[in-house]
Structure 1
Amino acid sequence: MQTIDAKPLLNTTILWLMTILSGLVVANNYYNQPLLGLIAAEFQVSEGTVSKISVLTQLGYACGLLFIVPLGDKMLRKRLILTDLIFVVAALLVMAFAKTLWMLYVASFFIGVTSVIPQIFVPMAAELSSPEKKSGNIGLVMSGLLMGILLSRFFSGIVGDYFGWRAMFEIAAGMMVITWLLVYRFLPELRPNFQGSYGALMQSVWHFAKTERKLQVAAFRGAMGFGAMSAVFTTLVFHMEGAPFYAGASVVGSFGLIGAVGALAAAFVGRFNQRFSVYQLIYFSILILLSSWVFIYFGQHSYIGLIIGIILIDLGLQSSHIMNQTDYFSIPTQATSRLNTVYMVCYFIGGSLGTYLAAMAWQHMGWAGVCLVGTSFSILAFLAHLFFGKGRQKPAENQLAADSLSKR
């Protein structure tokens, strides 16, 4: 493989490998959503109780983003990924064979903690790309990740209906073994760019979070957008179990397949970067996200209304997500894993909050409460973009401090 300054050149094979594996790994976090009704029935618990599985998975993912992903700047990344995959397999097997609710909670949390490998791939793609190909390459890897999120719901719904919910996690463990073999055989090694201690590494993460205005705004927009989408997907299974749908897990999971239409369209948003500014693309993306709630609320009793709403919410969220990442990866520093850590931790905290509030809203207000939560999150993202999206660049002295921290 060709190298440039001791770094592997990002060729088509490696780019597609990261794209496909991102989808396979991130899917572990979402298999549970269409299966919540089946799990609740087996353990004879309420919908609110079983919804904690999704919340804990997302909180675990946020913890993994905070404590594992920054190591991508400090350790050999291939070794880090291979080690992490061993723990992914273990967590999935515990989930598959859990006999008590607390075992499900613990396994769900650690599935989230360990399934963060895609967030090591994304900064790798940004770091190894030429400036003119950066948006496109990030978009491709993100498209794999997003397809994994959406298709996981479709796949798990079918498996759950025909083979039971436990079979899904057994299959997932097998796929992670295959992923380990592919990473071992094909992924190139990438030299770390941080030489200090783990404590200093985490200190630099906090420094970026405090001082990078562009990163702060992107993180808030992302958190609110993902919170909005999490609200609808976590409670959709409960909504469609009742009248007029009376749908099972496979039907609910198929909405993930429908949402893939929006995600695939979003993968091409980087191509508009030469005609429109990042600010404009994010503006239009959030407007699409907002418009989705009109269909999700007023079309709540029809398949066509929910289908249009799901396509729009995925298109709007994923477009803004890709452009958010393009925006903060333009910050002049090599600390790409740490920038991604700040953004993605906030992103999944937002998702966890959206999941929790939507579950509470469903219990007290039904689908109208879910739509209120999702619309509120979308409005907050839009207002943050309007008032802070064109913030000034960081002063030169702060940039020098950040560069010093990124190389320590």
Structure 2
Amino acid sequence: MTRGTLWLPAVACGVAVGNVYFPQAVTPLVAEGLRLPVDRAALVVTAAQIGYACGIFLLVPLGDRVPYRPLLATLFAVTGLGLATAGLAPSFGPLLAAGVAVGVTTVIAPIIGPMVAGMVAPAARGAASGTMLAGSIGGMLLARTFGGALGEWLGWRAPYLVAAGLAVVMAVALWRTLPVTKPHTLQSYPDLLLEPLRLLRSEPELRRSCLYQAMIFGAFSAVWGSVALLLTGPSYGYGAQAVGLLALVNAATMAATPIAGRVVDRRGSDPVNLVCMIAVIGSAVVLAFATAGGTGGLVALVLGTLVLDVAMQCGMVANSIRMYALSDTHRGRLNTAYMTCAYLGGAVGSWLGVRAYTTFGWHGVCGLVVLMAAVALARHAVAVRSRSRSRA
């Protein structure tokens, strides 16, 4: 693949990933529309992320076993059906179940990432991965922005129904344009499911990447899973659209990830990981001032989430390249282990973030961010010390 042909898979990543993130902007609207406590309505976010983690484990390994074109088109089509079901759900129970189902099937980006990595030259792998991640980031940002705006205008069901239509369009586009590919393996499906667990056991560098991303993505999800409660609460009193506008301000992350990919290509993953971990802790310090409200609080919120977003996404590029370097024939199964751990961390972070907010307020969320980043930083220090001893 050339740089000019990467745009469609990047857009597909954005559309698919957006299905996990737009519920973050409409949580208050779901609570109002279904007459629920806001912390219970926030479970739609956790449900999508848990479903996504399950889908990564159950479906992403098929990227090594099934040709990409029929696999990706089918997943998009089924995702569209699940989104339509969620948009028409009569009560919270069916909405929650449909949200889990959507999370399971919208795992297109973790399949496209290994696909693209295998279709470009090794020296360009970091830049290509950064481009795919930039597409995913665009989906995250725009999903929150338009989800919040559309939900304010037409109600919480509208974002689900519009997302359903986009999923069907992408299913047709990928079916018509992706090249015919051959499977990387003929292993049985049970063996494919066990392979990521074997890789986690045998590859220490994979385990390290998984821990880093689980902690940092958990911190990221803690903030974005609870920021709607802050913005719609007494400190600001905004509507759901404000969450989307805040996400749109952070569009700079789309430019940062390709740069991070090129830095990783030149200097390796560890320096980028270290900077990202320190930046996450710094973002929590800045975010703590968001409780002041007013212009100063908004400035702190914008700067803090911007630093957090850039750090999380650049760290993901670094971790992905470390992981892809482990094998040329097991990328789908490596990515399964990695992304499953990442989104389990994200689901835990979302749940803990809402609990921290309802118990300790916004400062509790910031403290949780510091704690999770500190765990990753401590593991990084151990890895650096071990490497220094082996060289000595």
TM-score interval, normalised by the smaller of the two chains: over 0.9
Q: Which segment drifts farther, 233-242 or 293-302?
A: 293-302
CA RMSD of aligned residues (A): 1.4
- 2:335 aligned with 1:325, yes or no? no
CA contact 2:137–2:253 (8 Å) conserved in 1: no
| Preserved CA contact (<8 Å) 1:217 1:389 | no
Of the structure 1 ranges 369-378 and 320-329, higher mean CA displacement relative to structure 2 is found in 369-378
Please state how far the C-alpha of 1:192 moved relative to its aligned partner: 0.6
Opposite residue 379 of structure 1, the aligned amino acid is: A
Aligned partners of 2:26 and 2:151 also within 8 Å: yes
Q: 1:308: how far off?
A: 0.4
Whether contact under 8 Å (1:263, 1:314) holds in the other structure is no
Q: CA deviation at 1:275?
A: 4.8
- Paired letter, 1:189: V
Matched, 1:149 2:149: no
CA contact (8 A) 2:227 2:243 kept: yes
Aligned counterpart, 1:399:
none
Maintained 8 Å contact 2:283/2:304: yes
Pairs within 5 Å for 1:62-211: 62-211=53-202
**Structure 1 position 351, deviation (Å):** 0.3
1:333 CA displacement: 3.6
- Separation in 1, partners of 2:113, 2:27: 30
Deviation at 1:242?
2.2
Task: Provide the C-alpha distance between the structure 1 equivalents of 2:309 and 2:236, rounded to a whole number of angstroms.
Answer: 22
Q: Distance in 2 between matches of 1:166 and 1:215?
A: 39
Cα distance in 1 for residues equivalent to 2:49 and 2:264 = 31
- Counterpart-to-counterpart distance in 2, 1:328 and 1:389: 17
The alpha-carbon deviation at position 198 of structure 1 amounts to 0.9
3-state SS in 1 of match to 2:6: helix
Q: Which has the higher helix share?
A: 2
Match of 2:376 in 1: 381
Quote how far apart the aligned CAs of 1:263 are. 3.9
Letter in 2 for 1:75: V
- 1:198 and 1:181 map into 2 onto residues whose CA distance is 26
Q: Distance in 2 between matches of 1:337 and 1:27?
A: 21
Deviation at 1:215, TM superposition (A): 0.5
Give the distance between the partners of 2:254 and 2:289, measured in 1 at CA.
23
Conserved in 2, the CA contact under 8 Å of 1:289 and 1:316? yes
Contact 1:239 1:367 in 2 (8 A): yes
Secondary structure in 1 matching 2:175? helix
- Quickly say closer, same or farther: Cα 1:311–1:136, change in 2 above 3 A: same
Match of 1:307 in 2: 302
Match for residue 366 of structure 1?
A: 361
Question: Displacement, 1:73?
Answer: 0.4
Shift of 1:13: 4.3
- Which residue number corresponds to residue 241 of structure 2? 250
Partner of 2:390: none
Q: Secondary structure at the match of 2:274?
A: helix
What count of residue pairs does the alignment treat as equivalent? 383
Task: Tell me, yes or no, if structure 1 residue 353 matches structure 2 residue 348.
Answer: yes
Shift of 1:88: 0.3
For structure 1, which runs of at least 5 residues remain unmatched after alignment? 1-9, 393-408
Output aligned runs, 1:279-290, within 5 Å.
279-290=270-281
Tell me if 1:35 matches 2:26: yes
Per-residue deviation at 1:339? 0.4
TM-score with structure 1 setting the length = 0.91
Partner AA of 1:300 in structure 2: T
Alignment deviations for residues 174-212 of structure 1 (CA, whole Å, 9 cap, x no partner): 111110111011111221111121112122221101111
